[in-house]
Amino acid sequence: MKIAYIGLGSNMHSPIKQIKSAIKLIEEIASTEITDVSSLYKSKPVGPQDQDDYINAVVKIETELMPYELLERIQEIEKQHGRIRGERWGPRVIDLDILMFGNKIMTDQKLTIPHPEIHNRSFVLVPLAEIDSDCEIPGKGPISDLLATIDKSNVVQLQ
């Protein structure tokens, strides 16, 4: 079993409900078990600011799936929630990203692990640190070091 982390975000159609529903569907992925779930956090959008704030969370899983299989499963969950890929950094009913997959470092047209912006996004690092404060991001370093270099004031814990 490999440990992986999935980032969740939503700012449309009852975002808290969308996140909670997506977490339930992640629980149903075959050969995968959720081992921890962060609190929910509210954050300002990346990119265009003329949209609602986001609700974010991070889920830690153990899985027997390979990275591309996991990607397919989470994209199926996005489709079930009505996700339509449109404007970059635009409003989203749900966004699920593989943040890390074990110690794997990979980049191709379909998937980049760890997530290419993980080290720059407080709305990912804060909930990730909540569930795994000793986490080290492959190729980027300890999460504690990364958190020390970014502004966390736009991330507010909800529950």
Query: Which are the catalytic amino acids?
Result: 83, 92, 95, 97
CB 26 within 8 A of CB 6: yes
HSE (side-chain half, CA atoms, 13 Å) at 94: 24
Please, what is the angle between helix 15-27 and helix 67-80, to 10°? 140
* Distances, alpha carbon 61 to alpha carbons 43, 44, 49, in Å: 23, 26, 32
Q: Tokens representing 26?
A: 């992640």
Pair 34, 60: CB distance under 8 Å: yes
Nearest to 49 by CA among 91, 81, 111, 80: 91
Distance, in Å, from the CA atom of 83 to the CA atom of 73, rounded to the nearest integer, reads 14
Per the structure block, which two tokens stand in for 107? 């980049």
